[in-house]
Amino acid sequence: MLARRAVIQARIASIDRDLARGPVPALIDSFGRKHDYLRISLTERCNLRCRYCMPEEGAPLSPSGDILTNEEVVRLARVFVQNGVNKIRLTGGEPTLRRGLPELIQELRGIGVKQIGMTSNGIALWKKLPELVRSGLTHLNLSLDTLDPHKFERMTLRRGHDKVLKSLDTALSLHESSPNPMPNYSGPRLHSVKLNTVLIRNTNDSEIARFLALTRLNPLSVRFIEFMPFAGNQWDSNAVVTASELLQHARELVRGGCFDDGPYSNSSDPDGVVTLPREPTDTARTYRIRGFTGTFGFISSMSDDFCAGCNRLRITADGNLKPCLFDEKETPLRDLLRSQSPSAEKDLLAAIHKAVGGKFAKHGVPDSSFSGPGDIHDQSTVRNAGENIGKRLARPMILIGG
């Protein structure tokens, strides 16, 4: 294992030297957006049944032979890295169900990917995470929609809330700034731990204060995600809790003294919610309660989009490229990867550039219902746009990749 790591480190150093010699080609769409972030779904399988992701009747899984192998994932990732991608996130389904995950992460590090993230539901993560971090995992997003174990079972149709919390504790102990590092662990640390929470009105929106409280002492970013429409997820605009509502509620909680105990009192601060700087490519608008260690933010796909700075591309588990989460169009890459044609590599790159070049300005449509970048929309506009998106998408979220 140590010898293998040494080989991978040597590869990374070699790639760094190559990159220093000159600019890397970029994947740029017709609106000038540079795409340097690739999300790769490793599996369509999951051990939970969250209704916003998995249709009530289930989802038809692709034949196992249609799923990209680990070798194919690395080969495809290398093409994207050679064309400017420097950040990869592994998703699913549930990526910890994928065999050979530590070795896959090592291989991705070996082709020069400096930032490797993963999104997990945490059910089986706690026992695997130390090895994944040693292998090169740098960023972790943990999906958790409720802090109530009984509500967890209702929302996911499965047990395991305690395991998710154990995974969260493990992740925080592996964070580079953790005051309580994991015992008997030596090696690299996680650079970032985030909690993804999909808020659904009258389901879990009463727990906002409890989630915010997690950021008091922990190096954690809690990100509230607006409920989005996908095939079979029974989306309802009335169930969407918008980012503007959430921010107002967070400020009211602080002003009302919800977090005023101990040394974190905000009594002298009429707001106590600090807006943090935001990069053009950030999906979340991020804030910190004054005096708290962690942060919170909102991913407002439905009410306040971030399409103008989008730098993301997605690969589904069966090898299709989706330039936009909300675009029904997909470009199949698997057969090009498996082709024995002398022009296969050239054809693969051409297909990628064509797909990126055809990416629409907003939400996967040429004439978006959304009037402009960063606009905040009322419930009526959110409803109309959501219904239009839901009608177009043939895949449920579980088959796209989180």
The larger pLDDT score, comparing residue 229 to residue 340, is at: 340
Query: Helix or strand or coil: residue 9?
Result: helix
In whole angstroms, give the CA distance from residue 123 to residue 47: 8
What number does CATH give the domain 2-20+27-400?
Answer: 3.20.20.70
The pair of structure tokens assigned to 183 is 């015992």
Locate all alpha helices (DSSP H) within 99-221, ordered by sequence.
101-110, 129-135, 149-156, 161-173, 208-213
The pair of structure tokens assigned to 75 is 């080969």
In this structure, the strands spanning 221-226 and 192-199 are parallel
The larger pLDDT score, comparing residue 54 to residue 189, is at: 189
CA distances in angstroms from 121 to 45, 152, 197, 359, listed in the order given: 12, 12, 11, 30
- What was the pLDDT predicted at 341? 95
Question: What does the pLDDT average to over 16-26?
Answer: 58
- What was the pLDDT predicted at 4? 58
Burial of 265 (0-12, 13-18, 19+ CB in 10 A): middle
Question: What does the pLDDT average to over 366-393?
Answer: 60
Percent helix, strand and coil across the chain, each to the nearest 5: 35, 15, 50
Confidence of residue 31 (pLDDT cuts 50, 70, 90): very high
In whole angstroms, give the CA distance from residue 280 to residue 260: 33
Confidence of residue 234 (pLDDT cuts 50, 70, 90): confident
The pair of structure tokens assigned to 47 is 């051990």
CA distances in angstroms from 58 to 62, 160, 337, 402, listed in the order given: 13, 20, 29, 16
In this structure, the strands spanning 115-120 and 284-289 are unpaired
Among 266-280, 292-306, 381-395, the minimum mean pLDDT is found in 381-395
In whole angstroms, give the CA distance from residue 91 to residue 337: 20
User: What tens digit of pLDDT does each residue of 248-273 get?
Assistant: 999 999 988 898 764 445 455 567 99
The larger pLDDT score, comparing residue 106 to residue 263, is at: 106
Confidence of residue 182 (pLDDT cuts 50, 70, 90): confident
- What was the pLDDT predicted at 264? 45
- What was the pLDDT predicted at 377? 55
- What was the pLDDT predicted at 374? 44
The pair of structure tokens assigned to 113 is 């990917």
A 10 A CB-CB count for 155 gives: 21
Question: What does the pLDDT average to over 181-206?
Answer: 95
- Helix or strand run (H / E) with residue 250: helix 243-255
Confidence of residue 28 (pLDDT cuts 50, 70, 90): very high
Question: What does the pLDDT average to over 92-116?
Answer: 97
Average pLDDT in the chain: 89
CA distances in angstroms from 2 to 74, 92, 105, 108, 184, listed in the order given: 21, 29, 15, 17, 18
Question: What does the pLDDT average to over 240-251?
Answer: 93
Residue 283 one-letter amino acid: T
Confidence of residue 3 (pLDDT cuts 50, 70, 90): low
Tell me: pLDDT of 370 over 60.
Answer: no
User: What tens digit of pLDDT does each residue of 150-179 get?
Assistant: 999 999 999 999 999 999 999 999 999 987
- What was the pLDDT predicted at 342? 96
- What was the pLDDT predicted at 248? 94
- What was the pLDDT predicted at 388? 67
Question: What does the pLDDT average to over 2-24?
Answer: 54
34 and 84 Cβ atoms separated by less than 8 Å:
yes
Percent above pLDDT 70 for the chain: 85
Question: What does the pLDDT average to over 219-236?
Answer: 90
Confidence of residue 364 (pLDDT cuts 50, 70, 90): low
Question: What does the pLDDT average to over 49-57?
Answer: 89
Tell me: pLDDT of 373 over 50.
Answer: no
Q: HSE-up of 268 (CA within 13 Å, CB side)?
A: 5
Question: What does the pLDDT average to over 113-139?
Answer: 98
In whole angstroms, give the CA distance from residue 215 to residue 288: 8
State pTM to two decimals: 0.89
